[in-house]
Amino acid sequence: MAKKPSSSAESESVLELAKRQSDGRNEEIDLLKQTINELHERDAKREQELCHLNQALSRLSQMSAIECILTNGFEELSTKLAPLAEIGPHRVPITDGAVNARLASMIEATARPSWSGASTVPIPTRPVPFIGEVVPRPRDNERY
Amino acid sequence: MIQQLIDRMMAPPSNMSRDAAAAIVLMCDPFDLLLHMEQVWNAFRVWGPPPNPQPASPARLAFLRYDIGAFAPFIPDPSLAGVPQWDHLGYSYVLENTRAIQILRRVVREYRSGEGLGIPSIATQRWLEITEVLLFGAANPLAPWLSTSVIRPDPEAIRRNAYWRLFGLDLAFGTDDNRPPTYDKATHANASFIQVFEELLFELWQAITNVRNTSGVNASDDDRIFRIAEALRFALRARRQNQLLSREELVAATALGWAELTLSANTPVVEDLVANATSPYERLRMIGERVGLAPHSRSSALFSMAGDLSRFLRIVESGVVSGPELAWVLYLEQPPVGSPPGAASPIGASSRRVITEWASATGKDLKTRAKPIEMRPPTRPPLLVGAR
């Protein structure tokens, strides 16, 4: 005849089961907490990045505004100063062949070599003999 | 004339190197150089085309044989008749102010009278022969055609006379022994030349600094440049009527050209005088020390501008700048936009060199106006005509 388990043993097993179950939940809770923390950190990072982007964007928008002001200012200044360019010299190219030839010939007639860096002018010479050093050679048809 | 001769020797078809050409000129017979001077003079056709007489008659041509001589292949092309193939008298003036001629005179005297400077080499003996002929009027077969005679025997006095007439200027020094110079001072001289010349240089500097100015206030004034250049041209041409002074200009350019060639490199005489250096001024200074005569303290600037001043004055005198619209010829370095291909280059680089070196040589600041224009408010309001 089989012996029935006692009530204390049953209660122990139930407690164990309950304990196991509670341990499992705790692990899940821990995991969930960890996940939540990670999400918070990520969120903070995103916010920081967003903040940086906002700052960069605002700077860019400010610069373009300065550029815009400067460009418009210069254009306006250039328009105002345009009449001065007409007062400046009016240079007409030489189209008359005779004038061009006269100028070219004057420039050519005053051309000169460049002497920058000139050093010794090489002039080959031999030692000069004294009187009496050179012996005259008799001509073939002369007899001594 | 000497520098132009070397330039022609370096050009095709001979294509000589500069040193080879210089060596030939330095070692030539003085007669060859004088003959070439006459050939250049004849090619110039000083009095224009016939029926005006030509410088050399057939008899002289036959006697001199213009087609012979060491430099006959380098006679200027006949198509260039009327264009002087030698430097302007301004070139001779600034170079003579270095005192090079008087220093070389002492060198010749020392060499010819003793051995105090050492034994001259063969090349230096040749140099002495040429120098005595070209600079100091030694007898030669072409003497009648030189600018000297019994009436005006001193070549330096003749050059001083020419400088006085054309520029209203005297040299910065007296005679070799520091006495006041004696020469015929002509009554007709361009006394206002230097004032007009320096005013032109000032205006050209304003133009040079404004060449790239396209939008700001532009201080360059082409009309004023033209007017001053025209005044200078009138003054120079007034002394050149019927080609007066041309012969003297050629002889002076030949003499000073010879002095410049002597000092442009370590030529044989420079080496014999142990005056080897890297610039003409230094060579002249060292030679001057050997013979006891110092050159002009601003000789470096004078040497630097001589060639450019020659070109500048030639262009001004030639009348190329015939209106304000062509004033750019004197200050641009490239022809303006729209110039036809092959257009001659303007002489802005030469003008700039002259401005810099003239300021250095004279101590005048040509880049600022000597007397600034006063801009004061009127002390009382101007009265209108008819106002009560």
Each residue's pLDDT tens digit, A64-77? 777 777 878 878 87
For an interface test with B, give the residue of A78, A91, A100 to mutate (most B CBs within 10 A). Answer: A91
List, for chain B, all residue ranges whose pLDDT scores fall below the cut of 70.
64-66, 141-148, 214-217, 369-388
Q: What is the DSSP letter of B144?
A: G
Residues 33-92 of A with CB under 8 A from B: 78, 81-82, 84-85, 87-92
B66 within 8 A of B145, measured Cβ to Cβ: no
Residue B69 pLDDT: 87
Residue B49 pLDDT: 86
Residue A141 pLDDT: 60
Residue B331 pLDDT: 93
ipTM for the complex shown? 0.85
Q: Which amino acid is at B306?
A: A
In this complex, is the C-beta atom of B268 within 8 Å of any C-beta atom belonging to chain A? yes
Name the minimum distance, in Å, from the CA of A127 to any CA of chain B: 9
**Radius of gyration for the alpha carbons in chain B, expressed in angstroms and rounded:** 23
Burial grade of B337 (CB within 10 A; 0-12, 13-18, 19 or more): exposed
Minimum-distance CB partner of B347 among A105, A107, A109: A107
Q: Which residue is it, tokens 């009560």?
A: B388
Name the minimum distance, in Å, from the CA of B251 to any CA of chain A: 16
Which residues of chain A does B8 touch, with a Cβ-Cβ cutoff of 8 Å? none
CB contact under 8 A, A121 and B6: no
**pLDDT at residue A83 above 80?**
no
Mean pLDDT of A112-133: 88
Residue B375 pLDDT: 46
Residue B140 pLDDT: 74
Name the minimum distance, in Å, from the CA of B73 to any CA of chain A: 17
CB contact under 8 A, A112 and B10: no
Nearest of B120, B102, B104, B52 to residue B82 by alpha carbon: B52
Residue B143 pLDDT: 56
Residue A16 pLDDT: 84
Residue B370 pLDDT: 59
pTM: 0.79
| Average pLDDT of chain A to the nearest whole number | 81
> What digits encode the pLDDT tens for the residues A29-51?
989 999 999 998 988 898 899 88
Which residues of chain B does A105 touch, with a Cβ-Cβ cutoff of 8 Å? 80, 83
Q: Which residues contact B331 (CB under 8 A, 6 or more apart)?
A: B204, B207, B208, B211, B220, B225, B346, B348, B351
For an interface test with A, give the residue of B318, B322, B330, B331 to mutate (most A CBs within 10 A). Answer: B318
CB contact under 8 A, B310 and A110: yes
